[in-house]
Structure 1
Amino acid sequence: MAVPSSLPAQPSAADVPSGGQPGPSSLKAPNPEAVGQNGAFDIYVVYQRIINNEDISAPLAAILALTELLSQSNAGTMFELVKALNDGAEALKSRVSNPIGLNAGCELFIAFVTLFPHESASFPELKTELIRQGQKYASEALTYRAKIAEFALGFIKDDSVILTHSYSRVVLQALLHAHKSKRISVYVTEARPRGLGIKTYEALTAAGIPCTVVLDSAVAYVMDKVDFVLVGSEAVVESGGLINAVGSNQMAVIARAENKPFYALAESYKFHRLFPLSQYDLPTHNPGILSFPQPPQNAEAAGSSSQSSLKPAVVTSTSRSSGSTAPVAFAPGQRIMTPEQIAKNPDVDYTRPDLISLVFSDVGILTPEGVSQYLVGMFAG
């Protein structure tokens, strides 16, 4: 799908900011929920409000935040409008620790605005139409997971044993959809340090799907028992590679060694014009990740550092995207990583395209090479 000149229209979803065509007066109407501490429009405040909705992922939240920025913009020309959108996108990126998904949504919407046919009678009418199209696209995008689940269903056989990683909305919907007509069993990794695999386990168990939580360090141990691996995505990049919760890459390496298919599920708005060559090319990488601490100056400091690794038996892991929490239990007196040690570890990793069997998306079932071709067409106009 190339960036469309007219984004598809769908009925407005209840959890998406109101659709419909705003009148010209609404373009400058102040939104109390979008006002920052200084009284000015704050796109980050808008983004945080939108992403608190469990159904909306970072790229969609970014698109909806940019449409709201359009409604507040005083731009009188297309040049000024695109500059305002780029400035808004940069403001979002600078305040989010993991901007990868957000970047994908921003670049998609800005490309759409840039390529949109300017057939309106006046510039205010053009802005109104852009806002309406952005809201309709976000509304339609909420149906993409159901499409992907239907595509994936054909690859899930009866009595399949599936391995998944951490928590993914689209993977969860695919598994729940498959459970309606087929018997499946699922292994899910704990996904330290946030423990979001527990969230997946609870959702699958509540639906009646046999599910077992697997230690991240036991992926190779369990791989021989599974039929295939099914993971979600933060982004699928121009090389056809995958950016996802850290641990996905090692899972793909082990799956390849065991000749097990490794499938990725990704909505098309997560396709991202990024071409990393290694883990260290990701936007989330910084010098603090995997850095070595300075050695303690004396024995007393060393003893204090050692004792700081002793933590209570239960910790709570928080999802940065959804704000939800999941308890992760440990044996009494067990040593676990301190917050400082966790902060030195990556949040996401990159999986090379040669390790990925197929990418299931709302635009079809693609090879990693197919994703590259799709991205070229998407931004070619």
Structure 2
Amino acid sequence: MVSGDSKNVQTFRKSLETDPNKSTGLAAIETLYDVLKNTRASTAGEFQDELGNAVKEMLTTDYSSTSIRSATNLFRKFISLAPVDITEKTDFSEILEFYRKRGVTFIERVSRSRSLISKYAKPFFRNNMNILTHSYSKVVLSALHEAHECGIEFHVWVTESQPDASGKRMHEALKSLGIETTLVLDSCVGYLMERMQMVVVGAEGVMETGGIINKIGTLNVSIIAKTLNVPVFVMAESIKFVDEYPLNQEDIPETFKYRSSVIAKNNLASEHPEVDYTPPQYLNLLITDLGILPPAAVGEELIKLYT
């Protein structure tokens, strides 16, 4: 943890450092739940301000702002969905107790997301498949591990995913699990694609369009796959569903494209974006904890999540 961090940022960082396999979104939700447990707010307005300030503080870190924003928005919406007999109580402490129960329920659901995705993904894996993945994704790693544990043998080709070489982390993680894997240059995706039976990627955020925000280069991989008729599957928790409707790369908010410390330099013209937007036409299916969805279904699911 960084000296001088606020209490909320310290809680957030500690949650991720204690469990390296935890998602950014879940850590953000647990941080808001910590605020909920300890709040002394006497009105709904005061309490919402506390939550809003906690979110702003977490967004100053260099963790994915896309994941933080989507997860915390859904958490705040979920806990506040209360029946009239609760919301009309004059004692705000009783309303907070209801919120706390809802918060526990939400965290329990999110904690099961990865195992549900692995369950839904398993039928897509077959023996002797060549699978291409890009960058490092905890949920993709979990699904591949689950399929391998069930006795399915396949070979995973992992792009280096420059400029941070996050694919090397994925490659090493796969090797440690006993999964056959090869690390490849980003520039050889076109050369390799005709040998692949499937492309599997994670996502920092699933947009209302059904497209995804993910590590830079995901768009390149998906376009090549589409051209060569190789299916592209996205694995993402529903807490990554974002109420944004980008139509092109320019529509991606700067806070999604760059980390907080980079934006603070105030010289983005010389910076390399960390993510790109892959439109839905290049994706076949989204494998989520809500089930297997076509990209076109994301908008409807977002409406359900936010109402």
Q: TM-score, normalised by structure 2?
A: 0.88
CA contact (8 A) 1:233 1:243 kept: yes
Is 2:286 the counterpart of 1:373? Answer: no
Could you say which residue in structure 1 is the equivalent of 2:10? 45
**Kindly tell me: are residues 356 and 129 of structure 1, through their superposed partners in 2, closer, same or farther at Cα, counting changes over 3 Å?**
same
Q: 108-117 or 250-259: which moved more?
A: 108-117
Matched residue of 2:213: which SS?
A: strand
Could you say which residue in structure 2 is the equivalent of 1:276? 246
User: How far did residue 147 of structure 1 move?
Assistant: 1.1
**Kindly tell me: are residues 48 and 158 of structure 1, through their superposed partners in 2, closer, same or farther at Cα, counting changes over 3 Å?**
same
Is 2:191 the counterpart of 1:225? Answer: no
Q: Which has the larger radius of gyration?
A: 1
User: How far did residue 159 of structure 1 move?
Assistant: 1.4
Taking the aligned partners of 1:113 and 1:275, their CA distance within structure 2 comes to 25
Taking the aligned partners of 1:200 and 1:58, their CA distance within structure 2 comes to 17
User: How far did residue 268 of structure 1 move?
Assistant: 0.9
User: How far did residue 97 of structure 1 move?
Assistant: 6.1
Taking the aligned partners of 1:363 and 1:204, their CA distance within structure 2 comes to 26
Matched residue of 1:74: which SS?
A: coil
Taking the aligned partners of 2:164 and 2:282, their CA distance within structure 1 comes to 25
Provide structure 1 residue ranges, at least 5 long, that are not aligned to the other structure. Answer: 1-32, 293-343
User: How far did residue 95 of structure 1 move?
Assistant: 4.0
**Kindly tell me: are residues 228 and 288 of structure 1, through their superposed partners in 2, closer, same or farther at Cα, counting changes over 3 Å?**
farther
Matched residue of 1:230: which SS?
A: strand
* Aligned counterpart for 2:66 among listed residues 79, 100, 114: 100
**Kindly tell me: are residues 185 and 352 of structure 1, through their superposed partners in 2, closer, same or farther at Cα, counting changes over 3 Å?**
same
Q: Which amino acid aligns with 2:97?
A: T
Could you say which residue in structure 2 is the equivalent of 1:327? none
Taking the aligned partners of 2:291 and 2:139, their CA distance within structure 1 comes to 14
Taking the aligned partners of 1:61 and 1:98, their CA distance within structure 2 comes to 11
Could you say which residue in structure 2 is the equivalent of 1:161? 130
Matched residue of 1:86: which SS?
A: helix
- Matched ranges for 1:98-177 at <5 A: 98-117=64-83, 119-120=85-86, 122-177=91-146
User: How far did residue 37 of structure 1 move?
Assistant: 4.8
CA contact (8 A) 1:82 1:114 kept: no
Matched residue of 2:132: which SS?
A: strand
Q: 231-240 or 119-128: which moved more?
A: 119-128
Is 2:279 the counterpart of 1:347? Answer: no
Provide structure 2 residue ranges, at least 5 long, that are not aligned to the other structure. Answer: 258-262
Matched residue of 1:191: which SS?
A: coil
CA contact (8 A) 2:75 2:106 kept: no
* Aligned counterpart for 2:28 among listed residues 62, 68, 81: 62
CA contact (8 A) 2:78 2:102 kept: no
Is 2:178 the counterpart of 1:251? Answer: no
Q: TM-score, normalised by structure 1?
A: 0.72
Matched residue of 2:124: which SS?
A: coil
Q: Which amino acid aligns with 1:54?
A: P
Taking the aligned partners of 2:130 and 2:36, their CA distance within structure 1 comes to 47
Taking the aligned partners of 1:206 and 1:50, their CA distance within structure 2 comes to 24
Q: Which amino acid aligns with 1:155?
A: F
- Identity level (%): 33
Taking the aligned partners of 2:282 and 2:276, their CA distance within structure 1 comes to 13
Matched residue of 2:195: which SS?
A: coil
User: How far did residue 101 of structure 1 move?
Assistant: 0.5
Q: Deviations along 1:102-158, whole A, 9 cap, x unmatched?
A: 000111011123323364564213213323432342233222111111111111122
Larger helix percent: 2
User: How far did residue 288 of structure 1 move?
Assistant: 3.9
Matched residue of 2:59: which SS?
A: helix
Taking the aligned partners of 1:106 and 1:206, their CA distance within structure 2 comes to 33
Q: Which amino acid aligns with 1:359?
A: L
Taking the aligned partners of 2:136 and 2:4, their CA distance within structure 1 comes to 34
Is 2:150 the counterpart of 1:190? Answer: no
- Matched ranges for 1:70-89 at <5 A: 70-89=36-55
